[in-house]
Amino acid sequence: MALSDQLAKLSAQAKSLEESAQAAEQKDKAWVANREAEVKSKLEKAKAEAGAEAQADEDECKRGWNKLKSSVTEDFDSLHESAHRKHEELKAKRADRHADHAAEDAEDAVAFAIYALEQAEYYVLAAADAQISAGEAEINAELA
């Protein structure tokens, strides 16, 4: 997922959290319970996607490492002839890998921020539900 797409998703998630907090303040128990279930479902989906993405990243890293080992083995005989050229190519590849890793780190950070916001929304809704239940229990205790 592109960084701009993740930032858009982060913005939408923050708006959703804001709407949930406002509804929780209004103490609409049915809406809070429904939204809490929706958020929990999204949270589980985000966990699964994060796990799959981590596995894909690990697999890609292993493929890259195996490709690099194979390349070094094949090119060993001509190493002295191409040392300067190889050195410059490796510097460029290292810079590309560094840029790719930095972009992946940014994407992972945004994904984590989305996950954290979903967690925050879940706990805001759980707290609102607990407050509503406590208020109902107080009313029932007064009536009894």
CA 9 to chain centre: 10
Task: Domain ranges for the chain, please list them.
Answer: 3-60+101-143
Cα gap 23→131, rounded to integer Å = 13
Q: Is the pTM of this model over 0.85?
A: no
User: How high is the pLDDT of residue 128?
Assistant: 93
The residue type found at 41 is S
User: How high is the pLDDT of residue 102?
Assistant: 94
Cα gap 105→52, rounded to integer Å = 16
The residue type found at 106 is A
Cα gap 31→131, rounded to integer Å = 14
The tokens of 134 are what?
């406590």
The tokens of 101 are what?
């890793």
The tokens of 90 are what?
């490796």
Helix axis angle, 29-75 to 83-143, nearest 10°: 160
User: How high is the pLDDT of residue 77?
Assistant: 67
The one-digit pLDDT tens for each residue of the chain (144 residues) are: 788 888 888 888 888 888 777 777 776 778 778 888 988 998 899 899 889 989 999 999 999 999 988 888 887 767 778 788 878 989 999 999 999 999 999 999 999 999 999 999 999 999 999 999 999 999 999 887
> Is 43 in contact with 119 (CB distance < 8 Å)?
yes
> Is 50 in contact with 115 (CB distance < 8 Å)?
yes
CA 128 to chain centre: 25
